[in-house]
Structure 1
Amino acid sequence: MFEPILANYTRDGDDWKVEVTGGDEVLTATAPGLIAARDQADQLAERIAPGDQPRTVVHTLDGDALGFTTAYLTARLATPPPGPPPATDEATTA
């Protein structure tokens, strides 16, 4: 019987912890943001099921797949905080 791999994400202070489970194998990693944690989950899933294509991974945030999708899309689509304006070269603007 086919069994999907489960990737569950939880906050760990300022970081994210991801636990990837497939069959009897459980691997964990910590990353500085949700996007980086998602990348870690892909790498761990590859270690659990090397070469399996297609590979089904269910991503959850504290057990909630919709919660993960919402948080991940928010992180992906968020605009970076405003920084200082780019420096201009006075020689090219004159």
Structure 2
Amino acid sequence: MTPQFEAAIAAIQLLSSTECQQLLQILTQSNSFSNSQPDFTTLSTQFLQGTTLKQLLANHSPTTVDHLQGLAADFWPEEDSIEDFLTFVRQQRQEAI
């Protein structure tokens, strides 16, 4: 990740849930996204109005995963060990209690 991207993520994490939703709405309506991107406002409204799974499937074309390897991503920084990450997660959970 670039320093600008890391700074943007850090700034977004400070936003309230309402601000995050507003940001998401702005980003999805901007020209930087193609028309094939989902309309999150509509999807949220449908979800909250109790749209059934069958209705959602009729309106959208979900993709299927044939192999779990297709979901694998190569984004884990080499300098970070999984043990350090798990230790961090455990510490965060203990602090939350």
Greater relative contact order, per chain length (Cα 8 Å cut-off, separation 6+): 1
User: Structure 2 length as normaliser, TM-score?
Assistant: 0.25
Higher strand share: 1
Higher helix share: 2
User: Structure 1 length as normaliser, TM-score?
Assistant: 0.25
